[in-house]
Structure 1
């Protein structure tokens, strides 16, 4: 009996190592499932009677698990963090010489990897043979049931809640090879970005003089028009906008096409539509259009460059002549890039993609700009402060452009739900959201140096999915079938009246028919 128990000692050590690697960063329920699957995998391999065949069958999964564990310890020991998407992307971007140098530099992790492989292979080889009855094969049956249930659960989540994430990555997250999901995502992102950036349409376009040289497009994030005083909100959240009211063309009922950034932004700045949604349309976008029209183009962003919720947008941005993703500070950290871009002479389009009021909204502004407090303003304090900070940023942009022939267009990618009884009061819409998740602020500001500014209001509901058409009119660019003599306001009124929207599963609804 004691001799049989000793045969499982190497397996016990291997289980302990895998457990330690996962307990460092994974939630308890995730760690537990990864560990159970690892144990069942090893026991299932031990069911193979021929030891040579057993070792051959075990080699690939053991190499994979050992590699995953080594990556976790490497990230923890070198950077004090979990292995992440950024590490995976840097590895994929490295050439063979860089990888060789890294392996030499971190020899202890390479030796640790080899030692773990030998330990796990040894544990498989030492497992005693089991009986031939079906009950003896329970580890294999349980493993199959767990894997199938994970796949089903990930698929159901994909269909019912969020079609943007990867089913494979969700399944991988519960396996003892979970770091693989970062490599899959990084590879997928690289492929999508290259695909969007490389397929540049050959436009048959004409340009018209607008009296404007500098166009700045500010793409907001998670801003609700319902929390902006320029739209009647009782708190003073938009003093700078209100001061510029006479210079604005203001949309009173702009409706986003989707409740999440990765879908909403491309819908607004590409030829994609809610009804015929297809990422193949993303290459037909305002950056490629402005480039071909002879504009100098810039894209400056506070949002992440890569990941499930940024990859397609990065693909659009990559063809801008100047681009920069700013990681530190708040949204006003984009102002130095804007100032530098303004040194350019001639027509230019500058896109600023800000973080705005994205949850957690309490982190979107410095403490010195916190006018509202939880004590006096309750659960809305942080969100209202984030709106006011965006308003301050817009005021700074207006100040930089007031002496130039310039115009600023602003819209939020989507809005947010507000549910006071939830732990997260302001949150993204999901499956069949209410109208609140889509109703966003939108305006075009004209510098005092622009003659005959097209100011006023657009009262009817207007889908921001029409913005690629509107932006062409704004910049004085016409494609076949456009109306080159039409004003921006006339175009907005013509495009208004309908607002189809999609939820996170790409299900399409009429915005008017959603719950209010």
Structure 2
């Protein structure tokens, strides 16, 4: 054997070894987050499809168009991997529709505040891209024409098989929530795109919520001797971190003083673990099992408008995508809409002051950032109160205390008015000791922590003197999905139908079940969930939504 032959053979062996190494690393990296969040059959489908894609790309790689296609393919695979890997690393969950909706409707300030969490994983994504492209390049030198044709045919058969299977299933079950494209993509290495397709569809449906709405043809209003109603929609506040509910640190000094003027809900339960799902259900007739366009259209803003209130929506959550999600679609019906691009929640107060100056009966919605991740960015340095040595615990508790300060400022402005304020958090947060920032949104199969929220209804002295009000503590579990009905009674609005889901109505009966939704739109019974994130996951049944649910 000649020297040239020996060298050529050695080079081929090295190239073969390099190919297997790069291809294996690429595949293992892609599957890493999937293995921990999905069943084995899903992992197998992703692996098979990924191998066929790389093989087919190698078949076309020798031409310039083939190289361009391969680069695009590698980029798409790596973006999918980066999104799912970072989501799993931060939240110990797969990427889901709630995350996708948040991405599509986020704003620049939130992107900047969250960037530090995700940029940390950028080198891993670059490594995946490099391994995948090198594997395609090396394989292109080895694959022959026949192998190229076989790999491409197998890829087409794979997609055709799953496409037909998904189409058949869709025809059989008439499921409206999952679009056909999402059903197909979820079986491929581009499975994250399926969540974005659903999220985009949901955003388009949300526009109908803002455009339509119940006519409330039988609506009537009875004066409750309250001129100004305020609804403060909190964000990511855990009930267990509030002094008002027994937390040992002084996180809610102002709220500790309101008991004589307030109705405090001891066991409020949010209907979802993400803002984009929870807030629409809290403000409308919709609930976890009946999340329909019609129910979302029947919301408290539309009802208040019809009853003759002047409605204000003042939000610290940004104006990007304000016409494209359920929260903003409901908000858009307000007579006065302000998206305040500020740093902290107290920057809403000047807008609130302007609304208070306007004459007539009014309801003012204040949507705050509260203690949303990253909590360290949710309050100014002047409110850096806790210094226990645990940075992220201190940050979160400081953010809770800053919300307490904000509520105190709002109530102070209402003191000399006949006014009432309803405060609740949209959802809670789970506590993950293995996560650097400790607290995280509940995602797939959350614990009760993701739904345990604070809620209270406060009256000014003038409002209490004008007529009897219910104050004290509500010890029974209360789903904030009933808040729409509670607010109707609170504001003296009758829709012509019995309002038996309102605590203030004579026909009220306490709930026996508490359906809640996770970020992936799965529905569970709250009472069956584990208490804390680190507890073992129970074997619980996923509930079915109503036929027309989104």
TM-score by length of 1: 0.67
Provide the residue aligned with 2:396 in structure 1.
383
Provide the residue aligned with 1:443 in structure 2.
456
- What does 1:404-423 align with in structure 2 at a 5 Å threshold? 404-423=417-436
Q: Deviations over 1:200-258 (max 9, x none)?
A: 21101111111111111011111111111111111000111112221111111111111
Provide the residue aligned with 2:380 in structure 1.
366
**Structure-2 change in CA distance of 1:400 and 1:473 (3 Å):** same
C-alpha contact 1:256 1:440 (8 A) present in aligned 2: yes
- What does 1:254-403 align with in structure 2 at a 5 Å threshold? 254-306=268-320, 311-375=325-389, 379-403=392-416
Provide the residue aligned with 1:478 in structure 2.
494
C-alpha contact 1:169 1:184 (8 A) present in aligned 2: no
**Structure-2 change in CA distance of 1:144 and 1:335 (3 Å):** farther
Q: CA shift at 1:43, angstroms?
A: 5.4
Unaligned runs of 5+ in 2: 1-29, 34-46, 80-99, 106-139, 164-176, 532-550
Distance 1:507 1:88 in 2: 21
**Structure-2 change in CA distance of 1:367 and 1:87 (3 Å):** closer
Q: Deviations over 1:312-353 (max 9, x none)?
A: 111111111111222321111211211111122111111111
Q: Deviations over 1:356-391 (max 9, x none)?
A: 11111111111221111241x565211111100000
Provide the residue aligned with 2:152 in structure 1.
140
Q: CA shift at 1:423, angstroms?
A: 3.2
**Does 1:246 find its partner at 2:292?**
no
Distance 1:394 1:303 in 2: 17
Instruction: State the number of aligned residues.
Output: 413
**Does 1:198 find its partner at 2:214?**
no
C-alpha contact 2:264 2:471 (8 A) present in aligned 1: yes
- What does 1:64-213 align with in structure 2 at a 5 Å threshold? 132-133=145-146, 135-137=147-149, 140=152, 167=182, 188=201, 191-203=204-216, 204-213=218-227
Distance 1:253 1:150 in 2: 45
C-alpha contact 1:429 1:503 (8 A) present in aligned 2: no
TM-score by length of 2: 0.63
**Does 1:460 find its partner at 2:476?**
yes
**Structure-2 change in CA distance of 1:301 and 1:508 (3 Å):** same
Provide the residue aligned with 1:8 in structure 2.
none
Q: Deviations over 1:105-148 (max 9, x none)?
A: xxxxxxxxxxxxxxxxxxxxxx99x9652x13366368669989
**Does 1:507 find its partner at 2:522?**
yes
Q: CA shift at 1:37, angstroms?
A: 10
Cα RMSD of the aligned pairs, angstroms, is 4.7
Correspondent of 2:441 among 428, 436, 453? 428
Unaligned runs of 5+ in 1: 1-26, 73-83, 90-126, 152-162
C-alpha contact 1:432 1:503 (8 A) present in aligned 2: no
Secondary structure at the aligned position of 1:472 is classed as helix
Distance 1:37 1:479 in 2: 58
Q: CA shift at 1:183, angstroms?
A: 10
Distance 1:170 1:323 in 2: 38
